[in-house]
Structure 1
């Protein structure tokens, strides 16, 4: 039986996105179709892939084979940093949409700004064109700091609707989230469980026991209550279902304060300014 679906959050362009989706980073191509279908069967309506993940083709197969209307699903992909630039981004999109086998992509993101090459503004102009041509419903970015976002907006007049960044209890990104709020940008969390490393914390174990939930569910519920879009990855249908089952309980103020005290600033991935 499908679980309670994630609520949909409205983006600045009027489109909407399920608050909790299935992330396909490091999901092998051989497993991506099966696990994407398991996610859809469980009640997910949001699949997050990327050219770099190497599983766009299988995600597209799952979308076409799913027993739900295409209009119910939000599919995200991303242009890889090696393809940053105006013309190269347009070519990369053509390749992605062909692999996905879709007529329209719901959300397309710049995967990394790569400030050392200084091509992310031109990449953004290509995404704006794709949206204007009706090939992409919504456009956004990933791994952008506030100063990268400010430059995009200042030079193009178009703000991303969403910024997907590393975000978890060790790295809650409060300042960036406040900046997003002032610009109408949704915050989306990748590595929402700090690649699983945060789950051994005794604070989370205590809160999980209090609510008769798992530490992972506690952290995902924390994301939901912060207002984040969140895309946990899972490798089994059981874990996929567990991750979505976070809408039947709520953390209280003491829980939120205890999780907030876990902040250390530790990243599990690269700082976007170091690329």
Structure 2
């Protein structure tokens, strides 16, 4: 079943997450001071930032589990602080970890949890997800009859993902979703998330420390530093807009040299013009997403210190 709502050609999908001037203060310290961003239906957003930047706090406010100090937040048109059961049924959460009864078997747990979502089915969205289809989607078919306490860490993490998806959410919050996954499981989970966004118009907000995951999975990347969003765009846009300098290495006059530059192509031309045939072992290392991310975090932290 394809649950993607009909949309007029050229029409922008509706805004699902709308955050403006979000602030969170603990005592005299502002963890979040001016977090502002939007997400549309079917978008996958990755929220990056160093430890302590406020990623989890931001997500918990949007989930309705933490009261903000100031600012505006809307999820599916509702203030999360006021969201009731029907609103919560439209959202899904995959936590880093959670405790449950190890005696449950995989399929019976998902069927049991799914029963809570059945009253909130709509003509547009069938709830809950069929447990066997969901088990297959997260790669646990062979484990459907096993007790949870017998699952390996990686298989247990797949079950965590299934628990977050069981209500067929319109908005899905993922907190470090592929921790403990092997490369194959990680790739399968990425495919599942992209399918949710493409076929079911699920909006996804994930926190991750894995830059490669953010690059592969997200339509947009948000970088949180110094209590605010310091960058918002695709990986390619961030690289163009906030690129860290390239590194150029070469040999001339019997010595090895290294320099950083914003335009490695022009710099290399200058080297050829200056050294001619004496130039050797020219190597250019272009800035990666990791370099750009590190530069953005440093800039955000410098601006925070300067306040």
TM-score by length of 1: 0.37
TM-score normalised by structure 2 residue count: 0.34
The higher radius of gyration belongs to 2
- Greater percentage in helix: 1
